[in-house]
Copies of this chain bind each other. A is one copy, B any other.
Amino acid sequence: MTGLKDKILSISRRTRATPFTRRVEAAGVRGYTVYNHMLLPTFFDSNEADYWHLCEHVQVWDVACERQIEVRGPDAKRLVQLMTPRDIRRTAIGQGLYAPLCDETGALLNDPVVIKLADDHWWISIADSDVRFFAQGLALGYGLDVEVGEADIWPLAVQGPKAETLVTRVFGDAVPSIRFFRSKMLEFRGRAMMVMRSGYSKQDGFEIYLNDADLAEPLWDELFAQGQDLNVRAGGPNLIERIESGLLSYGNDMTQAHNPFECGLDTFIDLDADIESLSLEALRPLKDTHEHILTGLVFETPMTFERFEFEAGGRVVGDIRSQVWSPRHRLHLAMAMMKSDFVAAHDSVEIAGARARIVPLPFDFDAISRAEVSA
């Protein structure tokens, strides 16, 4: 496929609005994508202007599309463990765990953050696929004593170097002591809700798991009122920032055609754990033999691609999944799903008339700037 110019999104009830959408619209949103059948704002000014602002100030993001698949009941923990090869046994209450979900072949179905509310009560904070259906099918087939649903939870992210200051002003002095991927139940207008240090950027920040849609606009307004001197703005997951930071996007960088080792998710797979997980048996032999590896590519000049697959030596050796010009590093960065054997044997590849360095993910810009382009 050629690179496509953005078009109009025809919005309908099927592309669900969120409790924040009126405020997002009032803030001048210019672009959306559709994520879990829901509107996700992508940019307000431009990708680049939003990027610089995110890295310097603080932004409020409507990420209500991070739907919470709620699993409750005596078999809740068993069902969650069946779906992920990551050992969830030592998860603390209120802790989030990045946990790839896989089927019995080891194929990746989603890469959510799994959150433990109680031993018999879990949220699966999903990327863009209907995990609820997989959980429902398994629960029915295995006869599990569990309820599966989509919770009325509307995550709102506050991201950027001034996020801690802003969230502290709104939720109080307990905020700074929240550690990464940990949470506290904190009050807004007398209602307790989960506030976690997390989010889809590397600029620090929090996700507020709003549990009352009627408080969506008051919460939004309070963040903007308290953040005026911090230069708070509306934003969304930023393409430039997330690629620079090496944050993966399910559906973009990897799909059900891939297993977690191909995505470099080895540290989140507990191959030797004594757990009941659907994918463990299939994953064991794949650890050192997977066909693809998600890899960084670095071009010296801005690129446009007529097609995303690229060849070397007469065969397709890779597929560019995400890519963007980095205005900070003055480099064109890409994530590509490449043939493992090619990556093992080469440190560069020619694509669309330009030479790209092959580098590990996440990008190490110090190492990149030290290295020369190798032929």
Contact = CB atoms under 8 A, between A and B. Distances in A.
A8 B11 contact: no
A211 interface: no
Interface in A46-89: none
Given A133-B129, A137-B135, A141-B140, A9 B12 contact: no
Given A2-B22, A4-B25, A12 B252 contact: yes
Contact of A308 (B7, B13, B138): B13
A110 B256 CA distance: 20
A42 to B, nearest CB: 4
Q: Interface centre among A8, A43, A252, by most B CB within 10 Å? A: A8
Given A13-B252, A129-B130, A134-B134, A103 B6 contact: no
A14 B256 CA distance: 12
A136 B322 CA distance: 28
Contact of A22 (B1, B128, B143, B308): B1
A139 interface: yes
Given A1-B17, A8-B8, A131-B133, A140 B34 contact: no
A32 B10 contact: yes
Given A130-B130, A137-B137, A137-B138, A7 B34 contact: no
B4 A17 contact: yes
A37 interface: yes
Given A103-B140, A134-B136, A141-B140, A30 B13 contact: no
Given A9-B7, A17-B1, A252-B13, A137 B130 contact: no
B137 A140 contact: yes
A137 B129 contact: no
A277 B14 CA distance: 27
Contacts of A21: 1, 4
Nearest to A150: B256
B9 A252 contact: no
A33 B12 contact: yes
Contacts of A140: 103-104, 137-138, 141, 278
A321 B16 CA distance: 11
A30 B12 contact: no
A142 interface: yes
Interface of A: 1-2, 4-15, 17, 21-22, 25, 29-34, 37, 42-43, 103-104, 109, 128-131, 133-143, 150, 239, 249-253, 256, 278, 308, 321-322
